[in-house]
A and B are shown apart, each in its own frame.
Chain A
Amino acid sequence: EPEVTQTPSHQVTQMGQEVILRCVPISNHLYFYWYRQILGQKVEFLVSFYNNEISEKSEIFDDQFSVERPDGSNFTLKIRSTKLEDSAMYFCASSEALGGRGEQYFGPGTRLTVT
């Protein structure tokens, strides 16, 4: 069964450093998402991406964040200058369609630890 994959599973970085989190969505999916979950808190939407551009973003997704689909398979989330409060689990998701059932399939997540 096709699945969303994410790398790395755990990333440790120092405050102020740039990190890139990588995702490979399901191959025939067209819509891509990033969510984050700070430990012990709810899962929060960051951004959705379609047709090589951001279709929606939350207030969390400020200028420190960017997303990119550099090739036909990868979808990345970049944090330019990490802060302690960026420590969280980051989930990538993809969906085949918008509307309809449009169910989102999630990857296993990347745990980001900022020290």
Chain B
Amino acid sequence: AQTVTQSQPEMSVQEAETVTLSCTYDTSESDYYLFWYKQPPSRQMILVIRQEAYKQQNATENRFSVNFQKAAKSFSLKISDSQLGDAAMYFCAYRDKAAGNKLTFGGGTRVLVKP
């Protein structure tokens, strides 16, 4: 079974600075998708960024970018120019391409942004 691990329960960043969140996963599949979801205090899960495993190029969405290391099974999220609105729980998630559509989530990292 696939597992997703986020080793940082909490990260703190100064406004306008950069923070990197770690995620590792375990799978025997070669083709899959990886996601980062943001969960603000409102609790709604918001998709931040996605990465397809067969694509070597790292995904970027505005201030959010990933560092995808397939051999190492690592998928970190970098938030640049952090804003107060970035404060939230961030969940890394895995989806197998072949076996259904379910998402497997990591335990989450709480991001605190200091003004």
Residues of A within 8 A of B (CB): 31, 33, 35, 41-45, 48, 55-56, 58, 89, 91, 93, 95, 98-99, 101-109, 111
A interface majority secondary structure: strand
Task: Find A42's partner among B95, B97, B100, B106 (CB 8 Å cutoff).
Answer: B106
A55 in contact with B100 (CB, 8 Å): yes
Instruction: List chain B positions with a Cβ less than 8 A from chain A.
Output: 33, 35, 37, 42-47, 50, 52, 91, 93, 95, 97, 100-108
List chain A residues, Cβ under 8 A from B33.
101-102
CA distance A91 to B104 in the complex (A): 14
CA–CA, A102 to B99, complex, Å? Answer: 13
Given contacts A42-B91, A99-B97, A103-B35, contact A35 B103 (CB under 8 A): yes
